[in-house]
Structure 1
Amino acid sequence: MKIRPFFSLVRACCAHLVLVLAMALPVSNHVMAQAPVPFTLYNNSAYADANVYVGIVGIVNDNYVWINPKTGAVNLMSPSNNTVPGPVINGNMGPGGNGLYANCFARLSEIPNKTVSIPGIKGCRILISFNSQLFLYFFGASGAPSGYAAPNLANPTDPNQGIRYEIIEVANAPNGLWSNTTRVDGYHYPMGLEVWGNGGFYQKVGEILPHNQILSLWQANAPAAFAACYDATNGIIKCPSKTTAFLSGAQSAYYNAYVDAIWARYQNNNLVFNSGDAGTWSGRVSGNVFTFTRASDGKVGVIARKPTNIEVLEGSGALATGEALDKVVQAQLCAAMNRHAIDLNLPAGATQDVGTPSKYYKLSPYNWYSSFWHRTDITYQGKSYGFCYDDVFDQSSTINASSAIRATVTIGGFAGVGQTGPVTVYKDCNYTGTAVNLTTGNYTLGQLNTLGILNDDISSLKVAAGYKVTLYQNDNFTGTSLTVTADDACLVDNGWNDLATSLKVEGNTTTGNIIQAENYNFMSGVDVEATTDAGGGQNVGWIDAGDWMSYEVTIPSTGLYRIDYRVATPNANMVLRLEKDAGATQLGAVTLPNTGGWQNWGNAAHTVTLPAGTYNLGLATTTGGFNLNYFTITAAAGARAQTQAYKPVPEDNAVTLTPNPVSEQLYIRGNEKVKVLGIYSLGGQEVIKVKNPGNTLSVSSLTPGVYIVTIERKDGTISKTKILKQ
């Protein structure tokens, strides 16, 4: 039986990257030996580091390669790398016919200092996925076939269905580092990107709102033509060309009338436009061919035929064919049509203004999907890749640093990030000017120098709540030291500004610290808003019955602890519940006072027994109807021991359930390790129990709500998690 391929060979997500390099500087087929650039991955997401996966693929010296995120080693792609079993959906065993995929991903928690080194490379993608690695297939480094097969979520048998993922595109080339976030193929999760370079260079791009607010804005504002881009099941937004509506449905002729009018208008008149650095062009249609001539030198660029609806959206086919100058005019026309920047009412021969962003996205039809990502309340400075030629007139999220020093990828975007990492190092005591952001880890003098920090550069520090920095006078992290926690510290004041040659950034113990409610690592059903409580910032609101949040805490020793909550509610008898082990272990509950309003703040507290260790602490409710600003954990008298309820699960024995939230089918990755899988209501009632489950499980019979899943493995370990049935 012939099995339909689940995805095609990868092509550049955005044709822009090759085009930009070609226009800026001729680049040979071989990538020259560029200085590697460290990319630090800062996790500002709702996912724990162990649930974030990173893979890096690209081309070095005309060979397809993958970079080991844990070691930085550059490896040639080979079919022998395909050793990871993937989901088999409707019998699709993948290109290899055996259901195996590339073993090229690492958990963020496994990457030293959460930093990967990107060498001289082109066509590079940093792939970031959540709760599961992506399932790529490697064909080989060169020859035919070569490269890799990437996700194609338009195909229902793709093994990556239900996996949330994002992409950072990179080229480390002779004319500098080129990097960008992208919305060209869709939106799964907010992302941020910052690049630092010599000479004080700094640029920043990415989303500035949390994921749930972005989805809410889309649903509230999307016109009917683009409504189908929203995938409610997976909580993602697809680009129009990946939806049935634009491929073959009601919007399959969305651009046709506009394209027809352009081709008809310029049969007997010239279309004139200024493309910026590439000059002024004048073109006319003959037959179906649109031929343009550049005013400065008479060079010619051609569009061989009218583009189709999908070709306008994707910048493909007739808009991505031919020689370099053909592609210049094709990029310009593609951008102008997506933005509806060609005014058909201008007099014949008048120069079109296609380079003024304030005039974009005003007249129908236009690419509303792209315009959404250029909203300045969603995206930093409105710079985004909404379609593949969004770099025309510098509207894209491309950052080009001619001499890059380092970069930071902020997973989850910049929402709620006052500083990019747990620690910011400044070169003065005013907490201004040139700054370097550090994530958790140990930094020797050599590593600090690579990041652009010398020992006499460290004049002041900003340390985020929940973290501490220990400064040392040697590279062994021993001897005389200075520890700074959750505060600003001017090292000039204590004479340490020219003494520190290494430092350690680590999480501080939770007890005694304020835990902001919006800093959850997982949640279900809640949202955040600005608070009027003292200190400002945000609180968590829209808390309904069944909603929950979880927070990673560090408890130094087993014993009694007082939990104080800062709450606001106009309701009486609202109950907040403290739990762990995904709700399987109930620690205590507290009835909240009626404070008289959603922003009238008061306090509630109870005393509970907490075990020692670092784990996720959950806040849940059966009533909802209140806001939460923060909570604190402080030691109480009379501590007593408490044993752990079950053995922890080793990382290499992980079983993952996707998608979550789930509507119909739950995919079980690692099912061969499972002895018994049980699903329980929050009240503890068993609703599903399966021995030796397969890789899929139907949950369509469950009523919508939150359920606890208990997984008993064949090696005796037990784990619990939550799923949200939609």
Structure 2
Amino acid sequence: MKTITLFRVQGLLRGRSVAMLFALTLLSSMAWSQPTVPFTLTNNSTYTDANIFVAVVGIQNGNHVWIDTRTSAVRVMSTGDNTVQGPVVNGDQGPGGNGRYANCFARLSEIPNKTINIPGIAGCRILISFNSQLWLYFFGATGGYAAPNLANPNDPNQGIRFEMIELTNAANGLWANTTRVDSYQYPMGLEVWGNSGFYKKVGELKTHAQIISQWQSQAPAAFAGCLDAAKGIIKFPSKTSAFLAGGAQANYFGGYIDQIWSKYSSADLVFNAGDAGTWRGRVSGQVFTFTRTSDGQVATISRKPTTIETMEGSGVLAAGGQWDKVVQAQICAAINRHAIDLNLAGGATQDFASDARYYIASPFNWYCKFWHQTDISHNGLTYAFCYDDVFDKSSTINAPSPIRATIAVGGYAGTTPSGVATMYKDCNYAGSAVGLPVGDYNLSALNSRGILNDDISSLRINSGYRVTLYENDNFTGASLVLTADNSCLVANSWNDRATSIRVASNSATFSSKVEAESYISMAGVQLEATTDAGGGQNVGWIEAGDWMAYNVNIPAAGTYKVIYRVASPNANTTLRLEKDAGTTQLGSVTIPNTGGWQNWTNVSHNVTLPAGAYSIGIATSTGGFNINYFTITNNLSAREAQTTIEIAAEEQGYTLSPNPVRDVLFIGGHEKVKRVKIFNVQGQEMIAVENPGRSISVQALRPGLHIAVIEQTNGVLKKEKVLKE
């Protein structure tokens, strides 16, 4: 029996950047104190939530671990986890000899809020499979796990479509990426938000059928065999027989590599490796030796690489010390991209950084060129081969202070960018688009989202919001305020003048109610039914050290009143409001003795909040209270207004929150609601749910204003405005 390939962290991260390798070095010895990052999965696929399976595996504190996606609990891998009977292929009972595999997958429909909280972790993979779980085998804390090996005909994972997100949550931030390094099986997308306006998006822009069709129409003969049409999989070239020893393309790069080694036997190859400095190299015998001009540091490639080593970044292109590997990565990337210009005089500095020169002259890795097309991958960024991060051409996202992430299962085909304002590169509101939530964006923040100031030709702004364009990068200078639904910027020349943008609510009064049970992550608390107005649930069993985290979207920096709906039979309990995983304290309030766990009152304090979408936390050093919801408002005399809200909620018997809403609309007092229908402003019915329970998914709604029609169990119909972010 051939054992399924055993993956370890070294193999998972082959070819990653020096910064990521440094992150892994830190992770191997540090305490696990990195902030937890919530990853939310959105389903933009043709599969139902019940037919999408998710697992998370990685390394923590030197142990191989898995994360229970239903609870976000971290568990050390154990052979005792292999309890699920899998298929037996050709009599092969698998590594355990009993046909059993790890019980580590959950259906997407079983994951609360479709969100998994990822702590500090290294070598991590979020595995996503379709119509069946994958059959992984756990060898234990130090042994790791056996993963799909499609080269093994007895592998029980044959025929199961799957994809993955690779990530490391380290002391120097979150590192995450989609990957096409081994194969393409289904479109995927990834977005990450962080502090100081950080945002980056990567992923495929077309449907699976469109991608397969485009490959079939464009692939040259040498690469046509990468497509397994029966399975709908596009394999990396080195995974096909044509590029292996004895295949028709086994020496695909051989001539180009021979020319490089020949030319630089009598001349110097000079190139700038960015932060790693400028290197000068020459071949002696078969050894290519490079010296860094700034300090004399030496790096070598011991011989000519083969075609397979070049494509995979393996063998002589993944050997030796740190600087050997830095130079090997540069040369490997340059050969795959055909960026080494043999017509340039020896000793002249080569430009390996310009992607305008990539994939032009033959031979080059056409598989990589395909995935870097801007109509296939967002901004042309993807991980098509292991050293694609050389000069930042990969889909790697590094958020120094991450807040949250979203995985788009199925990629972005047919989706509208999230945000209350959308920038388009075309004046007819088409072409590449970037969505902006409420917040401030200078030129560097716009660049990080893949758009330059002179790329902006039109704006679409949701009802109730305004966008202010400024000529200077620090939100000063001449300005233009836009509140219309659609605005073409070319006519008034602001398409090349705007260098900073402010997106804000167009309403003088801002108020956002957040149900306590809608946390994105928590520690130690439980939910219970509440007798407070509107019914639903409250958060209880709050003890010292417990906490909850929530996503908020603040329209503008300033002072806000935060009003908490609390109950407690204890005196002088306290809660504190914080952000940045507790490193920023926003303020605290004392909770009085209300006379019981379900005797409710309001407590409040004023806090200073920055603009934008981010997470905040409610924590306590005392415990001993319940919380039903809290409200954030810029109306600093909001106590009377809050009382009015409570009376109205009690009269109608239900509440809808949060509003504005991003993914899930929670219904307080849902037992009094018979039916909910949501219409767009054109009157088209978008969602209809009978007996909705405590929440409704609104991910399918486009951003903007909608009307919710609520039929209560007593026959009364109510209409509510709902703003989808």
Aligned to 1:213, the other structure's residue is in SS state helix
User: Relative to structure 2, which stretch is displaced further, 250-259 or 357-366?
Assistant: 250-259
Separation of aligned partners in 1, 2:516 and 2:43: 14
Equivalent residue for 2:153, pick from 141, 156, 170: 156
Task: Quote the offset at 1:12 in angstroms.
Answer: 3.5
Separation of aligned partners in 2, 1:256 and 1:508: 70
| Alignment map for 1:413-432 (pairs within 5 Å) | 413-420=411-418, 426=438, 429-430=464-465
Aligned to 1:17, the other structure's residue is in SS state coil
Separation of aligned partners in 2, 1:255 and 1:299: 29
Distance 1:453 1:80, change over 3 A: same
Equivalent residue for 2:260, pick from 259, 262, 284: 262
Task: Quote the offset at 1:555 in angstroms.
Answer: 6.6
Separation of aligned partners in 1, 2:411 and 2:674: 24
Separation of aligned partners in 2, 1:340 and 1:296: 26
Aligned to 1:241, the other structure's residue is in SS state helix
- The answer on whether the counterparts of 2:4 and 2:147 sit within 8 Å (CA) in structure 1 is no
Separation of aligned partners in 1, 2:53 and 2:45: 13
Question: Which deviations, in whole Å up to 9, do the C-alpha atoms of 1:14-35 show, x marking residues without a partner?
Answer: 4233633246896352244211
Aligned to 2:551: 451
Question: Which deviations, in whole Å up to 9, do the C-alpha atoms of 1:324-359 show, x marking residues without a partner?
Answer: 001000100110011010111221212211111110
Aligned to 1:283: 281
Distance 1:122 1:24, change over 3 A: closer
Equivalent residue for 2:347, pick from 340, 346, 349: 349
Question: Which deviations, in whole Å up to 9, do the C-alpha atoms of 1:149-169 show, x marking residues without a partner?
Answer: 111223222211111111111
Aligned to 2:411, the other structure's residue is in SS state coil
Task: Quote the offset at 1:233 in angstroms.
Answer: 1.1
Aligned to 2:117: 117
Question: Which deviations, in whole Å up to 9, do the C-alpha atoms of 1:244-271 show, x marking residues without a partner?
Answer: 1112421111111211221222222211
Aligned to 2:373: 375
Separation of aligned partners in 2, 1:206 and 1:30: 33
Distance 1:76 1:459, change over 3 A: closer
| Alignment map for 1:283-322 (pairs within 5 Å) | 283-322=281-320
Task: Quote the offset at 1:243 in angstroms.
Answer: 1.0
Aligned to 2:357: 359
- The answer on whether the counterparts of 2:292 and 2:298 sit within 8 Å (CA) in structure 1 is yes
Distance 1:58 1:480, change over 3 A: farther
Question: Which deviations, in whole Å up to 9, do the C-alpha atoms of 1:653-696 show, x marking residues without a partner?
Answer: xxxxxxxxxxxxxxxxxxxxxxxxxxxxxxxxxxxxxxxxxxxx
Separation of aligned partners in 1, 2:612 and 2:403: 21
Question: Which deviations, in whole Å up to 9, do the C-alpha atoms of 1:277-316 show, x marking residues without a partner?
Answer: 0001111112221111100000011112221111111111
Equivalent residue for 1:174, pick from 171, 186, 190: 171
What TM-score, normalized to structure 1? 0.62
Equivalent residue for 2:185, pick from 164, 188, 201: 188
Q: Does 1:225 align with 2:233?
A: no
Q: Does 1:15 align with 2:90?
A: no
Aligned to 2:391: 393
Distance 1:243 1:512, change over 3 A: same
Task: Quote the offset at 1:489 in angstroms.
Answer: 7.7
Distance 1:288 1:101, change over 3 A: same
- The answer on whether the counterparts of 1:43 and 1:412 sit within 8 Å (CA) in structure 2 is yes
Aligned to 1:324: 322
Q: Which amino acid aligns with 1:20?
A: A
Aligned to 2:72: 72
User: Relative to structure 2, which stretch is displaced further, 503-512 or 300-309?
Assistant: 503-512
Distance 1:480 1:314, change over 3 A: farther
Distance 1:298 1:165, change over 3 A: same
Task: Quote the offset at 1:420 in angstroms.
Answer: 4.5
Question: Which deviations, in whole Å up to 9, do the C-alpha atoms of 1:525-561 show, x marking residues without a partner?
Answer: xxxxxxxxx999xxxxxxxxxxxxxxx986749xxxx
Aligned to 2:428: none
Aligned to 2:494: none
Aligned to 2:465, the other structure's residue is in SS state coil
Question: Which deviations, in whole Å up to 9, do the C-alpha atoms of 1:363-399 show, x marking residues without a partner?
Answer: 1111111111111111110111010000000101111
Q: Does 1:215 align with 2:290?
A: no
Separation of aligned partners in 1, 2:117 and 2:48: 22
Aligned to 1:450, the other structure's residue is in SS state strand
Separation of aligned partners in 2, 1:333 and 1:412: 34
Distance 1:418 1:292, change over 3 A: same
Separation of aligned partners in 2, 1:420 and 1:485: 21
Aligned to 1:451, the other structure's residue is in SS state strand
Separation of aligned partners in 1, 2:204 and 2:516: 26
Separation of aligned partners in 2, 1:20 and 1:445: 29
Distance 1:304 1:555, change over 3 A: same
Aligned to 1:198: 195
Aligned to 2:56, the other structure's residue is in SS state strand
- The answer on whether the counterparts of 2:130 and 2:161 sit within 8 Å (CA) in structure 1 is yes
Separation of aligned partners in 2, 1:112 and 1:319: 44
Task: Quote the offset at 1:201 in angstroms.
Answer: 0.9
Question: Which deviations, in whole Å up to 9, do the C-alpha atoms of 1:86-124 show, x marking residues without a partner?
Answer: 222222222222221111111111111111111111111
Aligned to 1:343, the other structure's residue is in SS state coil
Separation of aligned partners in 1, 2:11 and 2:94: 21
What TM-score, normalized to structure 2? 0.62
- The answer on whether the counterparts of 2:518 and 2:550 sit within 8 Å (CA) in structure 1 is no
Separation of aligned partners in 1, 2:282 and 2:206: 44
Aligned to 1:105: 105
Separation of aligned partners in 1, 2:140 and 2:348: 52
Aligned to 1:271: 269
Distance 1:321 1:535, change over 3 A: farther
Equivalent residue for 1:340, pick from 335, 338, 341: 338
Task: Quote the offset at 1:4 in angstroms.
Answer: 2.3
Q: Which amino acid aligns with 1:259?
A: I
- The answer on whether the counterparts of 2:24 and 2:170 sit within 8 Å (CA) in structure 1 is no
Equivalent residue for 1:235, pick from 232, 237, 248: 232
Q: Does 1:147 align with 2:144?
A: yes
Structure 2: 5+ residue runs without aligned partners? 421-434, 441-463, 468-501, 506-512, 523-547, 555-559, 562-608, 614-627, 633-644, 697-708, 710-725
Aligned to 1:412: 410
Distance 1:415 1:510, change over 3 A: farther
Q: Which amino acid aligns with 1:350?
A: A
Count of equivalent residues: 502
Q: Which amino acid aligns with 1:27?
A: L
- The answer on whether the counterparts of 1:444 and 1:503 sit within 8 Å (CA) in structure 2 is no
Q: Which amino acid aligns with 2:550?
A: T
Aligned to 2:296, the other structure's residue is in SS state coil
- The answer on whether the counterparts of 1:205 and 1:384 sit within 8 Å (CA) in structure 2 is yes
Separation of aligned partners in 1, 2:35 and 2:199: 18
Separation of aligned partners in 2, 1:453 and 1:513: 23
Question: Which deviations, in whole Å up to 9, do the C-alpha atoms of 1:616-671 show, x marking residues without a partner?
Answer: xxxxxxxxxxxxxxxxxx9xxxxxxxxxxxxxxxxxxxxxxxxxxxxxxxxxxxxx
Give me the identity figure in percent: 55
Distance 1:265 1:120, change over 3 A: same
| CA-atom RMSD in angstroms | 4.1
Aligned to 2:445: none
| Alignment map for 1:650-669 (pairs within 5 Å) | none
Distance 1:227 1:508, change over 3 A: farther
Aligned to 1:163, the other structure's residue is in SS state coil
Separation of aligned partners in 1, 2:372 and 2:675: 40
Q: Which amino acid aligns with 1:95?
A: P
Task: Quote the offset at 1:490 in angstroms.
Answer: 7.6
Separation of aligned partners in 1, 2:674 and 2:210: 30
Aligned to 1:27: 26
Separation of aligned partners in 2, 1:192 and 1:435: 27
Aligned to 1:138: 138
Task: Quote the offset at 1:321 in angstroms.
Answer: 1.0
- The answer on whether the counterparts of 1:43 and 1:410 sit within 8 Å (CA) in structure 2 is yes
Distance 1:347 1:511, change over 3 A: same
Aligned to 1:38: 38
Aligned to 2:374, the other structure's residue is in SS state coil
